[in-house]
Amino acid sequence: MTRGFFVGRFQPFHDGHREVVEHVAEEVDELVLGIGSADVSHTVHDPFTAGERVVMVTKAVDDVDVPTYVVPIEDIDRNALWVSHIESMAPAFDVAYSNNPLVARLFREADIEVRNPPMFDRDRFEGTGIRHQMLVGDEWVDHVPDAVVDVVEEVDGVERIRTVAEDDGGDRWEAEEE
Ligand code: NAD
C-alpha cells in the first residue's frame, strides 16, 4: 500500500491542483492533502482560513478514485523541523509530491522520496493570478472547481480580498511574491 502526500497553501485550490491530484491518484493507493499555512488567513496572499480550504479541497476531490484525507498543517518557524511537524500531524506517507523547491528539498533531506508532478497550464492555473482576478473583478470561476466557487461565494471571499487589500494600503499586491 502506497500513500502519497501533496501539500499546498491552496489559496484557492484551483484546476492545476486538481490535475495534480488526478495524476497522483494514478500512482498511489491513498492520498493525504496537506493544507499548508493553516494558521494564516485574511491577507491578500492567504485570504481563506484552514477550515474554508478544508471544505474547498474535500469537496473538489470527492470523486477521485483513491481515499483522500485532508489535513491542516500550520507553519512553524524552523524549516529544519517542518517535515517532522507534518509527520506528527498527518497519516504516515511514503512519497511526497511537490514542485516547490524548498518543500522538495526539506522532504529529500528527511529521506522521503519526492516526485515532481507535471505543471498544468500554469499561465491560467496559478494562485496569485486567480486572487488578482478576484480582486479586480476579472473572470476567475473557470479556473477553479465548482466546489471552490461555492465556498468563495458562501464566505463572501471576493469582498474579503478587496477589503484586506485596502487595509494593506493598496501597495501590498505589488509586493506579493509566490
Ligand atoms: P501552492 O498552493 O502555491 O502550490 C501547491 C503545489 O501545487 C506546489 O507544488 C505547486 O508547484 C503546485 N502547483 C501550483 N500550480 C500548479 C499547476 N498549474 N499545475 C501543477 N502544479 C501546480 O502552495 P505552496 O506554496 O507550494 O505550499 C507550500 C506550503 O508549505 C506553504 O503553506 C508553506 O508555508 C509550507 N511550508 C512551511 C514551512 C515551515 O512552516 N517551516 C516550510 C516549507 C513549506
Alpha-carbon torsion, ordered 49, 53, 55, 57, to 10 deg: 180
In the structure, what pLDDT confidence band is assigned to residue 167 with cuts at 50, 70 and 90?
Answer: confident
Whole-model pTM over 0.85 = yes
Paired sense of beta strands 95-97 and 3-8, if any: parallel
Residue 111: its H or E element: none
Give residue ranges with CB within 6 A of ligand 1.
7-10, 16-17, 19-20, 36-37, 75-76, 79, 82, 98-100, 102-103, 106, 117, 119-122, 125-127, 178
CB within 8 Å of 157: residues ≥ 6 apart: 12, 47, 48, 52, 134, 151
Question: Would you state the pLDDT for residue 123?
Answer: 86
Ligand 1 centroid to residue 1 C-alpha, Å: 25
What amino acid is encoded at 173 in this protein?
W
Residue nearest to atom 17 of ligand 1 (CA): 16
First to last CA, the chain: 34
pLDDT digits (tens, 9 = 90+) for 90-106: 999 999 999 999 999 99
Ligand 1 centroid to residue 155 C-alpha, Å: 23
